Structures are given as C-alpha cells and as structure tokens.
Amino acid sequence: MPSDESATQHELELLENGREFYDRAFEAIRGARNEVLLETFIWFWDDVGRELLEALETAADNGAAVDVTVDGWGTPELPAECLERLKAKGINLHVFDPTPRVLGWRPKFVGRMHRKLLAVDCEVAFVGGINYGDDHVVGKQPDAKQDYAVMVRGPVVSQIRRFLRLAVDSGLGYLRKKRWRRFRRLPEAWRDANRENRVVFVTRNNAERHSDIERYFLMSIRSARSEIVIAMAYFFPSYRMLRHFRKAVERGVSVKLILQGKPDMEYVRTVASTLYDYLLDAGVELYEFEERPLHGKVAVFDGEWSTVGSSNLDPLSLSLNLEANLFIFDSDFGHAMQGKMNYLLEHSRRITRDDVPEATGWRHLVRIFAFHFARRFPRWLRRLPGYRQEVTEKPKSAS
C-alpha cells in the first residue's frame, strides 16, 4: 500500500533504541484524546510492557478509542492481569492468528504480522522495528538490541492511520491473490536528481502487495549515485537484490552492508555468511556490528534518502511476513541517518577475504545451495501456508 506525501510538510524525528522510542511513543499515547491504533509483533510483560499498558489506560481514561493488535506467534500470551485491565478500560486487543496450538505449535508459523506501527489522533505516527520489551532498552539488559524508529507528523500520518483502521476493521480475513502489475518506469521522485522530497509509506502482504517493499529497495539501489549503507539484522536477500548490489559497485557506488556480529540467534550470522563470498567478489564492503545485537532495518542512499521500518532483507520479510516501512526523501533526515550509520561503522569489524573460510568440501556445497536458494525462494516460500490479511475497504451497500 504505497502512499506518498511531500516531506516538506512533515516533521520527522529519527529515534534510536528503545528508551528514545518509548519516551516519545508513550507520551503521545498518554496525550491521546480521540484514537490510538497500535500494531506490534511482540509485547512482553515486563517493565516496558507494563509502562505501555499504563499509557494505554491513560488514553482510554481521556476518552480515546484504543485498539491494539499483536501477533499470535510473537506475543503468544499476556497474563490475566493485563487482559483484565484492558477489558476494564474498554481497550480492544486483537490477535493476529488466534488459532489454538497443535502439540505446542501454531500450525501457521509463517506469514506473521511483523509490523510495528502506532498512530495517535491522526496527528502523529511511529514506524520502525522496535517491539515493546526491556530487551530494547540499552543498559537494562547486557544484550539490549540496537534498533531504530521514526516519529512523523504531517499528511502521511492520515495514510498510516487509515491503513491501521482498515486492518482492525477487516479482521483476519483472506484476500484472493491478484495479478501484480510491475512498474515499468521509475517514479519521478527516483529518476530526478533534484526531486521534490517526499515520504512514502510502503507495506507488503501475501496478496497483491507481496513485493512492494523489495521493489522500493531495488529502486533505491538502482538510483544511488555515490553511496549505499544498509544496516540489517537478518540478511539473506533475493538473487535480484544481490545482482543490484553488484551492478551498483560496477557503476562506482560504494556499497556498505552492516550485519550482526553479536547475533541474538547464532544461525542468523551463519546464514548471512554463506553469501560473503559473492558479496566480497562483487566489491561490497561487509561489516559486523559487535557492540550489541543489531535489530535495525534501516538504510541510507547517497546520504539523502533513507528507509526505516520492520522489514528485514531475508526470506521471511521479503516473501511471507506482513511488513511496513517508511521511505523518506529528505536530506536533513538522510544526514541524521548517515550519522547513525557512521556510528555503527565505527563500532563494527570489517570482514575481509581472510575472515571468510575457503569454500571447500561441505562449505562449498552449502554456499552453492545458499546461492541457488536466493534465486528461487520468493517463488517457493509463497507456497507455504501463510496468512493473507485483508486490509481493504469493504464495498458500501447501496442506499
């Protein structure tokens, strides 16, 4: 569901890590007078989770209508105390995939609702990758996650609010897959070096919007003229994106990838490293952030335009999960993002040929498999049982 508005009409603030994000988000929620719409993959019942509930209760006491949507896999259960307090305040809790477990497992574990969105009173919205939990508060836990979000005021907020409202109203329905028409020309904003700045809200689902976020990433890579810096928690992109990285380097663009050096799950680093050979051969600079687990999903192109959101560059985000990103064409915001990227680079270890084991024996077979999987996974994974959430306006009955 791409939608764009001029960035000159927007107030944008880049938020780093949990505490910065929670302070702004909870302040906005507590000040709500009409409506709070919140989506999150994870809501932990810890200090941050209780602080979220208190902010939602304050909004309800102010007379605001409050709807919270969590993913049934990421947030498998909340304690009775939380549910009772939500009910007492008239706060609506929606669970994406509320089906019971089978032998301890949810039958549909792919195609999760992975978005992290918040809209308050159609005045302010938040988009990013930060869940609600203590593990995003640096200093509170030894392995707190490095992550980002953006707070925005301006016309695009109405687009985000409308999307969230439709998601709540349409429930967990299914949407028939429609034929997707590929854009054959880049939008003017991507082709014009002196383009009018804008803010674009882009989502992906498992129906007619299954490639939108990836397409915007590809257009960004293709349009870059000097530098691309991407910081990504989970990285195993499509072959098409790998090819775009190589072509960017060939036309003189510096491409830097910042990945997890201190992963929250060890397999993440192992999977990403299977592509190191290809990326190094292509001339891509590889870095591993080692200060703490990197959970960010951000990028900056030519220091001028950038993206922040929930989408990783991996099979789950690109082909199965429900995601949402902002693509922001604003030089001031781009410079702020560039500063955050510089910090990550300064605290990362650069990966060289000496760090990548020679591809012999089983390692060679694994890398061959990884490369061919990258070529084919978008088509394969969409055949798995995943949810197609209906986020669409229902036809009005004739009067």
Active-site residue flag, 116 = yes
Cβ atoms of 204 and 282 within 8 Å: the answer is no
pLDDT confidence bin for 239, thresholds 50/70/90: confident
pLDDT, mean of residues 334-363 = 86
pLDDT, mean of residues 165-183 = 50
Distances (CA, A) of 354 to 267, 277, 351, 358: 21, 11, 8, 9
| Beta strand spans in 208-322 (E) | 227-232, 254-260, 285-289, 297-301, 305-309
Q: Per-residue pLDDT tens for 53-96?
A: 999 999 999 999 999 999 988 887 899 999 999 999 999 999 88
Distances (CA, A) of 195 to 56, 189, 330, 362: 40, 5, 10, 49
The HSE-up count of residue 307 (CA atoms within 13 Å, CB side) is 31
Q: Which of 4, 302, 314, 330 is catalytic?
A: 302
Q: Per-residue pLDDT tens for 126-147?
A: 999 999 999 999 888 888 999 9
Cβ atoms of 283 and 276 within 8 Å: the answer is no
Q: Structural domain boundaries of the chain?
A: 7-170, 191-381
Active-site residue flag, 256 = no
Q: Per-residue pLDDT tens for 175-191?
A: 222 222 233 333 433 33
Sheet containing 92-96, strands listed edge to edge, beginning at the edge strand earlier in sequence: 11-16, 148-153, 124-128, 117-120, 35-40, 65-71, 92-96
Q: Per-residue pLDDT tens for 97-120?
A: 755 566 666 555 567 899 999 999
Q: What is the dihedral of CA 129, 134, 135, 140, to 10 degrees?
A: 130
- pLDDT of 372 > 90? The answer is no
At 203 the pLDDT is 92
Do the first three CATH levels of 7-170 and 191-381 match, i.e. the same topology? yes
Q: Which of 295, 314, 330, 340 is catalytic?
A: 295
Dihedral sign, CA of 49, 51, 57, 63? negative
At 105 the pLDDT is 62
- pLDDT of 367 > 80? The answer is no
Alpha-carbon radius of gyration of the chain? 21
- pLDDT of 166 > 60? The answer is yes
**Would you state the structure tokens that stand for residue 319, as one six-digit string?**
């082909």
**Would you state the structure tokens that stand for residue 249, as one six-digit string?**
């380097």
Q: What is the pTM of this model?
A: 0.85
**Would you state the structure tokens that stand for residue 32, as one six-digit string?**
């709500």
Q: Which of 10, 116, 256, 340 is catalytic?
A: 116
Q: Name which CATH class applies to 7-170.
A: alpha beta
Q: Which of 136, 210, 244, 297 is catalytic?
A: 297
Q: Which of 4, 71, 121, 147 is catalytic?
A: 121
Active-site residue flag, 114 = yes
Active-site residue flag, 210 = no
CATH 3.40.630.30 fits 191-381, yes or no: no
The HSE-up count of residue 202 (CA atoms within 13 Å, CB side) is 22
Give the list of residues 6+ apart from residue 379 with CB closer than 8 angstroms, or none. Answer: none
Cβ atoms of 206 and 338 within 8 Å: the answer is no
